[in-house]
Chains A and B, each alone.
Chain A
Amino acid sequence: MPPDELVVEGVCKRYRRATVLDRVSLSVTAGEVVALTGENGAGKSTLMRICAGLLPADAGEVRVAGAVGYCPQTPGLFELLTADEHLVMFGRGLGLGRATALRRGHDLLDEFGFPVGARVVTAEMSGGTRQKLNLAIALLGNPGLLLLDEPYQGFDRGTYVNFWDHCRAWSRQGKAVVVVTHMLAELSRADRVVELPSHPSLERP
């Protein structure tokens, strides 16, 4: 049995009076691809942020075995920096020198069909191109756990299909991958589908 990369036990989260997550439990093992689904407001992004450590849970516990790569739904990028500058900046946080960050980042971007070497700032990139950079940054530190919050937004059809091939490749490398998705047609490409229930308290006027 592969080891757990992520264990979520009884996590609760409320925003004022609205319960977003109610005793959610989940575990993801190394090499597993889990699709996280649910209606709008079911708390998928909230759960991802809690798992990444960016948001506190009101109750429950989250344990991760090692490094986490988090790809947020909206790319957190500087508008007027290029892809290379982002790679250098995030790479430094991971303890990588300029050359290593660029080499590793270019390899990742190349896999996604990103125009490596183009000196274009993120504000001038298309939504899909920005998402590829967003994804590459999440992978830059070679994390054991990937938390991908609808990372394919703006991708064209071919890149989207390839994205699931990449998920499979990452799982073969032993990574645990959690993908927030609404794309029901592709759920069969995940090892497991976890659906978060919607909460009546959110639907009240």
Chain B
Amino acid sequence: MRESLSRMVIMAEMHGRDLVRRHIAIALLVALPMSFYLSSVGEGRDAVGTGGVAMAFAVGGATVFSALSSSEVDHRLVLSGYRPHELLVGRLLFLCPFGIVLSGLFTALMAPISHPDNPGVLLLGVSAVAAIAVPFGIAVAAIVPRELEATLVLIGVVGIQLAVSHTSTVAKLLPFYGARLLIDTGLAGHGPILWPLIEGAMYAVALLALARVFIGPRLSIRTAARRGG
């Protein structure tokens, strides 16, 4: 158990080191949701919802890239003794806090401009978008393990979530619905908090389970081969 945790922590550390050295990518991660927000800020408070959900483009995109660019390394890591779920959790351990920090910065930018009634819940909502975007990106990369196709799926799902009214049935089936409701609650100062959180958490768990199903066979060691490198 301790060994397994230690392997997850090392994976998180190395994913972090690899990502924070990509300065242009980091700048784009911040700029992407911000540009969505700033381009629609003149249309009133809806801009907060648009910018908040657009956080999924940034964090989900970073996750898809992280997962797909390391698929060759993942094979060798499993051969050296890592278990597939340790690679998955290691990625989560870095990307979730990273996304939540981005959400904090982004909310701090939006709050003085859009004056949400409950900035704390707004932060919770934007953070929930980031936190769900990580398992979503991992699941997309697991199911569609090619960069172009995976990116198109990401753009499609987040784009639909942004485009459709959040009262529509389609919106309710998409992964960021609960987080979007939290953002609305943060803006209005009233509305549901607990069940959108539970819904988001359940979606995240389901996405991770789905990713594990697809990643497992791809990364399993098939012969009597044991630890090596």
Chain A residues in contact with chain B, CB under 8 A? 50-57, 62-64, 66-70, 72, 74, 76-81, 85, 88-90, 92-95, 121, 137-141, 143, 145
Contact = CB atoms under 8 A, between A and B. Distances in A.
A95 B10 CA distance: 12
A79 B225 contact: no
Interface string B67-84: 001101101110111100
A77 B10 contact: no
A162 to B, nearest CB: 20
Contacts, number: 112
B224 A63 contact: yes
Contacts of B6: 92
B76 A70 contact: yes
B228 A76 contact: no
Interface stretch (B13-21, B116-124, B178-186): B13-21
Contact of A62 (B70, B79, B80, B224): B224
A94 B227 contact: yes
Contacts of A95: 3, 81, 227
Given A50-B223, A55-B222, A74 B72 contact: yes
A79 B229 CA distance: 18
A103 to B, nearest CB: 16
A88 B222 contact: no
Contacts of A53: 79, 221-225
Contact of A121 (B21, B75, B225): B21
17 contacts: A52-B228, A54-B79, A55-B222, A63-B224, A77-B73, A78-B18, A79-B18, A80-B22, A81-B18, A88-B14, A90-B76, A93-B77, A121-B21, A138-B228, A141-B227, A141-B228, A143-B228
Contacts of B115: none
Contacts of B70: 78
A139 B70 CA distance: 21
B85 interface: no
A68 B228 CA distance: 4
Nearest to B219: A54
Nearest to B70: A78
B14 A78 contact: yes
Contact of B223 (A63, A76, A90): A63
A53 B228 CA distance: 11
A99 to B, nearest CB: 14
Contacts of B228: 52, 67-70, 138, 141, 143, 145
Contacts of B45: none
Contacts of B223: 50-53, 62-64
B146 interface: no
A81 B227 contact: no
Contact of B79 (A68, A79, A81, A89): A68
B7 interface: yes
Contacts of A57: 222
Closest 7 CB pairs of A and B: A53-B225, A93-B80, A68-B228, A93-B81, A76-B72, A53-B221, A53-B223
B190 interface: no
B222 A140 contact: no
Nearest to A61: B223
B76 A94 contact: no
